[in-house]
């Protein structure tokens, strides 16, 4: 059985995942409106992944007999001056999410909830990947500075990103 403390923290994380999805959808819409179709694609796939992360947490709570409590989603920013600014916000946001996942891991460890620790390991690994991806794109965008050709090439590269169902959902 899941403790009330951990269930409450996971419900808070579900809200954070939905907020993240909403943020990335906003970034996608803004990039699309500014003619950066590849950047828009990258952020739309981020939106889909965050929705999936919320589903994974919801499925986990339900499987442990805990109540899912959906909360209102706070407002998100809606425009960025450049794709670089959006990706810098992305890295900062993902670092905050990493801290939240670490907090969940701490609660699970404190309570000796090994099932929850096992489930959360996937998110720990996912956050390493999320931060690395954002850093790599920031590095690329900083190398091209204000070069329109460089931004065009990066935009084309980001357009090639495809959506993949996360492992915890692919078996369901």
State the Cα–Cα distance between residues 69 and 16, nearest whole angstrom.
12
DSSP conformational letter for 131: H
Q: What's 112's domain CATH number?
A: 1.20.1260.10
Other C-beta atoms lying within 10 Å of the C-beta of residue 127: 18
Which residues does the chain have with pLDDT short of 50? none
Supply the pLDDT for residue 145.
78
State the Cα–Cα distance between residues 125 and 128, nearest whole angstrom.
5
* Structural domain count, the chain: 1
Residue 120, in any domain of the structure: yes
State the Cα–Cα distance between residues 10 and 113, nearest whole angstrom.
13
Residue 172, in any domain of the structure: no
Supply the pLDDT for residue 172.
57
pTM for this predicted structure: 0.95
Residue 171, in any domain of the structure: no
Residue 15, in any domain of the structure: yes
Residue 75, in any domain of the structure: yes
State the Cα–Cα distance between residues 144 and 54, nearest whole angstrom.
35
């Amino acid at each position: 059985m899941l403790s009330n403390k951990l269930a409450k923290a996971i419900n808070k994380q579900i809200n954070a995942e939905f907020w993240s999805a909403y943020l990335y959808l906003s970034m996608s819409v803004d990039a699309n409106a500014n003619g950066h179709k590849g950047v828009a694609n990258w952020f739309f796939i981020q939106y889909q992944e965050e929705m999936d992360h919320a589903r994974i947490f919801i499925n986990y709570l339900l499987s442990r007999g805990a109540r899912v409590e959906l909360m209102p989603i706070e407002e998100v920013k809606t425009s960025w001056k450049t794709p670089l600014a959006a990706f810098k916000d992305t890295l900062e946001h993902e670092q905050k999410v990493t801290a939240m996942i670490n907090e969940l891991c701490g609660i699970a460890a404190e309570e000796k909830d090994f099932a929850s620790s096992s489930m959360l390991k996937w998110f720990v690994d996912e956050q390493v990947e999320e931060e690395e991806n954002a850093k790599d794109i920031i590095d690329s965008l900083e190398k091209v500075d204000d070069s329109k050709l460089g931004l065009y090439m990066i935009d084309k590269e980001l357009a090639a990103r495809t959506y993949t169902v996360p492992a915890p959902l692919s078996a369901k």
